[in-house]
Structure 1
Amino acid sequence: MRRGRDEQGQVSLLIIGFAGVIAMVIAVVVDASAAYLQRSGLDTLADGAALHGADLGATGEDVYTGGLPEERLALTEPAVRAAVGDYLRRVGAHRSYPGLTFTVAVDGAESVTVRISAPLDLPLRFPGSPADTTVSATGSAVSTVD
């Protein structure tokens, strides 16, 4: 009985190839999950910081000297920035997210937008993945008088 070509070893190559593809898929899923969880945490921080900034940013000296306006409290950017920085220090944001940075924008002296960014240390790296990854989140709030 005559045998055809020897095909031994072809299955091993296929198994090794599939194992490599599965390892890369696992790395992508783990990294995407880490980014999603960090973004969720930063979303919460940004929303809290914006609410805190809109609330405390409008209770500065201008309220005491000028009184409360009819519809909206006047927000000053320095007061809002100070309130946001204080909030982030009090909740320990810089410990939880080393390298955290934030920007504050006051739109029309009535709404506050806070953008928070922090570097993400990817749990698994594979060739071709970015070396430095940053995750950002934005929160906003409007200050009104009741």
Structure 2
Amino acid sequence: MTGPRGRPRWRDDEGSILPLLLGYALLVVAVLFVCACATDLYIAQKRLDALADAAALAGADGFVLVADGDGARAALTEAGVRAQATALLEALPGDALLVEATTADGVTARVTVGGEWHPPLVSMFVPDGVPLRATATSRTALR
């Protein structure tokens, strides 16, 4: 059987590649969206890490001076660390919460902040409301 212009016509060569192209286009869009959400999640975690670092640094300033036999030294208190970290978090924009602010040895401030990440666009491929936490430590400079 020949078609127009004398070329052979094959019956199994009929159809359209449009459904295949649409399927691949949807797959590409889904992969791009998931990659964009993963990048946004990574950036949100890095911002929370930086905020935890700043809060720990501020918490290391929550010391009291203690007079010893030879002179004075700085000693961190849990109340001082918490007060300084809370003041910093309240001064900065965002919805990060202070989870924990402690000092184990009176020299090192350990601060944990938490937040929640929401994807830029709602999708069935990416969960909504991923909890994030970041912990940082800082030592007081005065000993």
Identify if the C-alpha distance between structure 1 residues 17 and 81 changes in structure 2 by more than 3 Å, giving closer, same or farther: same
C-alpha deviation, 1:52, in angstroms: 0.8
- Does residue 47 (structure 1) correspond to residue 49 (structure 2)? The answer is no
Query: In structure 2, what is the equivalent of residue 81 of structure 1?
Result: 82
Query: In structure 1, what is the equivalent of residue 39 of structure 2?
Result: 33
Structure 2: which amino acid aligns with 1:67? A
Return the index of the structure with the highest Cα Rg: 2
Q: Deviations over 1:53-108 (max 9, x none)?
A: 111x113xxx2xx326879632111111011101111233xxx2x3x212213222
Counterpart Cα distance in 1 of 2:32 and 2:58: 39
% of aligned pairs identical?
28
Structure 1: which amino acid aligns with 2:85? V
Query: In structure 1, what is the equivalent of residue 11 of structure 2?
Result: 4
User: Among residues 97, 110, 115, which one is paired with 1:113 in the alignment?
Assistant: 110
C-alpha deviation, 1:111, in angstroms: 0.9
Counterpart Cα distance in 2 of 1:131 and 1:75: 39
What do you get for the CA RMSD once the two structures are aligned? 2.3
Q: Higher relative contact order at CA 8 Å, sep ≥6: structure 1 or structure 2?
A: 1
Counterpart Cα distance in 2 of 1:87 and 1:67: 28
Query: In structure 1, what is the equivalent of residue 131 of structure 2?
Result: 134
More strand by share: 2
TM-score (norm 1): 0.78
Task: Give ranges in structure 1 of 5+ residues lacking alignment.
Answer: none
More helix by share: 1
Counterpart Cα distance in 2 of 1:70 and 1:34: 50
Identify if the C-alpha distance between structure 1 residues 138 and 23 changes in structure 2 by more than 3 Å, giving closer, same or farther: same
Structure 2: which amino acid aligns with 1:139? A
Alignment length (residue pairs): 134
SS of 2:14 mapped into structure 1: coil
Counterpart Cα distance in 1 of 2:20 and 2:72: 69
- Given that residues 120 and 135 in structure 1 are in contact (C-alpha distance below 8 angstroms), is that contact kept between their aligned partners in structure 2? yes
C-alpha deviation, 1:23, in angstroms: 1.0
Structure 2: which amino acid aligns with 1:123? P
TM-score (norm 2): 0.79
